[in-house]
Every structure is written in C-alpha cells, then in structure tokens.
Structure 1
Amino acid sequence: MIDLNALTAANAKRWNNAKLTRNFTPIAGHLIAPAAKARYQAVSAKTGVPWAVIAVIHQRECSQDWTGSLAQGDPWNRVSVHVPAGRGPFRSWEEAAIDALVNCAPHAARNKDWSIGRTLAKLEQYNGLGYAARGRPSPYIWSGTDQYRSGKYVRDGVYDPNVVDGQPGCAGLLMAMMALDPTITFTGATITPAASVKPIPAEKPATPSIVNPSKGSIGAFIANIFNVVFRRKA
C-alpha cells in the first residue's frame, strides 16, 4: 500500500529540484493555445480539475489527439477496449473527458488539494503506482527532467530498468506551460520568468537653481521682477 502523503512530499521535493533535460516548449505551446485552452477550461468548469492538469493528461494519453479519450486514448465515439474498458461511446471529446475525470479511477474530480505535490501524486495515480512501489520516480511524471534516468513498464506487470521513456513527463510539461502562461499556478509552485522588464523610473523634477528657482522662493520673486523689467524695455 503506497503512502500518498509520502508520495506527495517526495514529488514536491523533486519538483523543487527538477531541471528540464529536453525542450518542452513546442508541445507546451500547443497545450496552452487559445482554442485548446478553452476546451480544457470547459471540462475544468464541470469537474473542478485544473485545466492545465487536463491538458497534460491529454498529451500523455493520446498526444493531444482530439479523437482520443482522456481516459486511455481510445476513440471516444466507440466503446473503449483498454483500461478503463467499456466506457462510451460519447457524443464529444468533452463528454468523454468529464466521464474520465468523474467516473474513472483515480477520480480526479474528487480531489480538493491541487498543491503541486498532490497534483503530481494524483497524476501518478492516473498512470499507476508501480514506480512508487519500487521507490523509483515515475517517467509518466518525470521523463524529460533530471529526476528521471531510466526504467519503464513496457507492458502490464513487466518492468525494464534499462528502457528510457521517450514521452514528455507531466512535471516537465507543467513547468514549460507555466513559463509560457503565468496564469497557471499551483499552491507553492510558480515559475519565475527568465527575464522581466524593469519599470522605467519616474522622471525626477529639476533641482531648483538660479535659472530654475522653486515656486514661491525669493529667487522666483527676483526672477519675476527681471522678467517684467526686460519685457518693458523690449
């Protein structure tokens, strides 16, 4: 039995230390594109699952293919044959996604803690806790970061320690998405932009002088007399 609190803490620590080892930006750009984001947000509004989490599940399960179900990548317009099997057919990608998050394990819609550690633990549950049982970081989460080197279940129940997962992991995807879209945040997890524009300081008023006396000063009074005299002579 996996201790989810321990897994949450472990993934939060890995997140704080993680560095990307692949370029996630192109994929992240597709996931946060306005049209895609709107569809993820529509499902988020029905389930309470953050839209960015829905996006990375969609990427991992079917490479963001809108004909594939969020649950396991099977076509949503037919009855699914892979686990969870027997789901559908559905009328739309959104309907299938809502079913996956509400009615299928690990029932992400029931989760109320979307801190980064718990978010990553929930995503790991989505794929299975076999890696946690071995004390290994899950490639489903950490592939493409320095927190993962090798090891993959090549089929049900068969683990190969030498295989490297080539898919982008959920953590790396979230990091890249957060760098591109600052509206994506998780409790205690933010990405600082690589460069920020410094505000232009307000222009300081000129220092009072003989040619520029401060208002109401003796210098201003004398300057006013000179102006009047020289205007009359002109």
Structure 2
Amino acid sequence: MTDLVALQAANANRWAKAKLTRNFTAVAKRLAAPEAKARYQAVSARTGVPWAFIAVAHEREASQNWNTQLGQGDPLGSVSVHVPKGRGPFKTWEDGAYDALVNCAPFAARNKDWSIGGTLTMLEQYNGLGYANKGRPSPYIWSSTDQYVSGKYVRDGVYDPNVVDQQLGCAGLLLAMMQIDSSISWDMTKADAAPKPPPVPKPPPSTPSVTSPAKGSLGAFFVDLFKSILGRK
C-alpha cells in the first residue's frame, strides 16, 4: 500500500524545487480564460474541489475537450469504457465532472487537505499510484518540469522506463496558471489556513499622578526624596 503521507511530502518537496522545461503559457491562458474558469468554478461550487485542480485534470484527461467526461476523457454522451468504467452518459460536461469528483475514486470532493502536497497527491491518485510504488515522479504531475526525466505506463500495467511523456504535467500547469491568475494559490498549509488568534493588546501606559509621577520627572525626584527621609525603600 502506498504511503500517501510520504508521497505528499515528496510532492511538496518537488514543487518547491520545480522549474519548467517547456512553455506552458498558451495552455495555462486557455485553462484560466474567463469562460472556462466560470465553468470550472461552477463545478467547484458544487463539489468543494478547487477550480484550478479541475482545470488541470481536464487538460490531462482530455486536452480540455468539453465533450468528454472528466474522469477518463471518454465521450460525454456514451457509457465510459476506461477507468472509471460504466459512467454516463451525461447531458453536460458539468454533470460528468460532478460525477467524477463526487462518485468516483479517489473521491476528490471528500478531500480535506488542499495544501500543495495534498493537491498534487490527489491528482496523482486520479492517474494511479504505479509511479509512486516504483519511487518515481509521476509524469501526470511532473512532465515538462525538471523533476521528471523519463518513464511512462504505455498501457495498463505496462511500464516503459525509456518513454518520455509528452503531455504537460499538472504541477507545471498550476505553476503557469498562478502567473496568470493571482487568485490561485497552492502554498497554504492547514496551519496557515487556520484563523490566527488576535494579537494580545498591550496595556495602556499608566497616567502619571501625584502618587505615581512619571519616571525622571521633578515629581518623581520629590517622591524618592520623601521616601528616603521616612526610611522607606
């Protein structure tokens, strides 16, 4: 069984170091375009899954084809034959996306950890954990960044270490989209997301009085003098 906590840490570490090795700008602009973003946000509102997560999954599964199912890229109007099998048909892309995120493993709508490690690991689970089980970075996430060199499952259960994935990976897409849309942020951890307690206010400075004059004042001199005469400390 894959250690998902370790995988989250590995993906967060790769994210911190990752550099793009191809130009992601055109695809990132297409995914973040206002009309596309509005459709992703509509599904996000129904599922609780961040819209940018939905966008990059849509790109990887179907090159942002709106006539396909989000879960595996099969035609929207047909019953799916790829995993997840037996889904659909759906009348709209949004309905298919809702089904993929809510009703199909790994059930992204149930995810509570949207830190960058949790986000990338959830995306990786959609593609499968075969790479993680081999100790290799998943091209689904890291293709076209310096965190991935080669290795790809060319079909179910068949891994070729020499094949290089030519699609843009999810991590690079997110990095590029963040440069275009400032509302996207994947650096929040659970601790960062928790409301911070209000600062404890400093007590107001005491107001000088006859019995408690300001330090260094003439009044303070006479009070100290009076105490010394009476033998008080």
Which of the five TM-score ranges fits, normalised by the shorter chain? 0.7 to 0.9
Q: Which residue pairs with 1:152 in the alignment?
A: 152
**Separation (CA, whole Å) in 2 of partners of 1:49 and 1:117:** 15
Q: Which residue pairs with 1:4 in the alignment?
A: 4
Q: Which residue pairs with 1:31 in the alignment?
A: 31
- 1:11-52 superposed Cα distances (whole Å, 9 cap, x missing partner): 000000000000000000000000000000000000000000
What amino acid sits opposite 1:95 in the alignment? D
Q: Give how far 1:91 is off.
A: 1.3
Contact 1:106 1:126 in 2 (8 A): yes
**Separation (CA, whole Å) in 2 of partners of 1:186 and 1:146:** 19
SS, match of residue 75 in structure 2: coil
SS, match of residue 175 in structure 1: helix
Q: Does 1:170 align with 2:170?
A: yes
How many residues were matched structurally? 189
- 1:190-217 superposed Cα distances (whole Å, 9 cap, x missing partner): xxxxxxxxxxxxxxxxxxxxxxxxxxxx
**Separation (CA, whole Å) in 1 of partners of 2:76 and 2:106:** 19
TM-score, normalised with respect to structure 2: 0.80
SS, match of residue 159 in structure 1: strand
What amino acid sits opposite 1:8 in the alignment? Q
**Separation (CA, whole Å) in 2 of partners of 1:86 and 1:157:** 20
Structure 1 runs of 4+ aligned residues shifted over 6 Å read: none
Structure 1 residue ranges without an equivalent (≥5): 190-234
Pairwise CA RMSD of aligned residues? Answer: 0.8
What amino acid sits opposite 2:69 in the alignment? S
Contact 1:114 1:187 in 2 (8 A): no
- 1:162-213 superposed Cα distances (whole Å, 9 cap, x missing partner): 0000000000000000011010012348xxxxxxxxxxxxxxxxxxxxxxxx
TM-score, normalised with respect to structure 1: 0.80
Contact 1:153 1:160 in 2 (8 A): yes
Q: How does 1:45-194 map to 2 (within 5 A)?
A: 45-188=45-188
What amino acid sits opposite 1:143 in the alignment? S
SS, match of residue 91 in structure 1: coil
**Separation (CA, whole Å) in 1 of partners of 2:2 and 2:81:** 28
- 1:59-107 superposed Cα distances (whole Å, 9 cap, x missing partner): 0000000001100001111111111111111110000000000000110
